[in-house]
């Protein structure tokens, strides 16, 4: 019975972490493309960002549902819902992309700050890395608010690359440190 429960949990853990790695890689690659080709249309950027936000929101809600009762994930449904709403708005509002991305990066920064405090509470040594990641996202979010329209694609690309890289690093650290769920 216990093996069946651990097997199920291991499968869910692997699905979530592999999904996070894929999203991180996609964010990094799209960010690199935006940084190298700033002439892409705001509409294209809005649609792609919206789809990424929505998929990230769905994965965040799935992690809440599958890990219900674990204090670290108690607010994931709120973060997921915010990401989905911002993603939908982003898809239909190319003019306000910098504001939308700023809000998104602030939300990610706050979420990472929350995780960092919980990890510190659980005496996890990576809490400081997660906190620094959160602070960097907050800085990126504030920067996105004050970026003019000509530079929004480049800043978005840099932010997406940062998000993708940090998401990949966080997920690899999580998988590496997990004693029970490593594939």
Alpha helices in the chain (DSSP H): 2-36, 42-66, 76-92, 97-121, 127-145, 152-177
Gap between the Cα atoms of 68 and 73, Å rounded? 7
pLDDT in tens, 105-130: 888 889 889 988 988 888 878 788 88
Q: pLDDT at residue 96 above 90?
A: no
Phi-psi category of 182—alpha, beta or left, where left has phi over 0 and alpha has psi -120 to 50?
Answer: beta
Q: pLDDT at residue 183 above 60?
A: no
Q: What is the pTM of this model?
A: 0.53
Q: Which pLDDT band holds residue 135 (cuts at 50, 70, 90)?
A: very high
Q: pLDDT at residue 4 above 90?
A: no
Nearest Cα neighbor of 38 from 168, 148, 139 is 148
145 Cβ contact list (under 8 Å, min separation 6): 98, 99, 102
Gap between the Cα atoms of 102 and 145, Å rounded? 6
Q: Which pLDDT band holds residue 42 (cuts at 50, 70, 90)?
A: low
Nearest Cα neighbor of 72 from 121, 109, 23 is 121
């Amino acid at each position: 019975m216990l093996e069946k429960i651990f097997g199920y949990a291991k499968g869910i853990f692997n699905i979530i972490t592999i999904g996070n790695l894929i999203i991180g890689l996609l964010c990094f690659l799209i960010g690199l493309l935006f940084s190298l080709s700033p002439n892409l249309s705001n509409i294209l950027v809005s649609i792609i960002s919206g789809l990424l936000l929505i998929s990230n929101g769905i994965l965040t809600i799935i992690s809440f549902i599958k890990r219900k009762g674990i204090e670290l994930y108690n607010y994931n449904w709120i973060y997921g819902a915010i990401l989905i709403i911002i993603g939908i708005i982003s898809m239909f509002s190319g003019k306000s992309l910098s504001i939308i991305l700023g809000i998104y990066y602030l939300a990610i920064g706050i979420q990472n700050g929350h995780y960092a405090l919980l990890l510190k509470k659980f005496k996890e040594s990576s809490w400081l890395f997660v906190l620094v990641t959160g602070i960097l996202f907050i800085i990126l979010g504030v920067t996105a608010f004050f970026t003019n329209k000509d530079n929004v694609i480049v800043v978005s690309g840099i932010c997406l690359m940062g998000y993708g890289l940090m998401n990949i690093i966080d997920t690899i650290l999580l998988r590496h440190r997990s004693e029970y769920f490593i594939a």
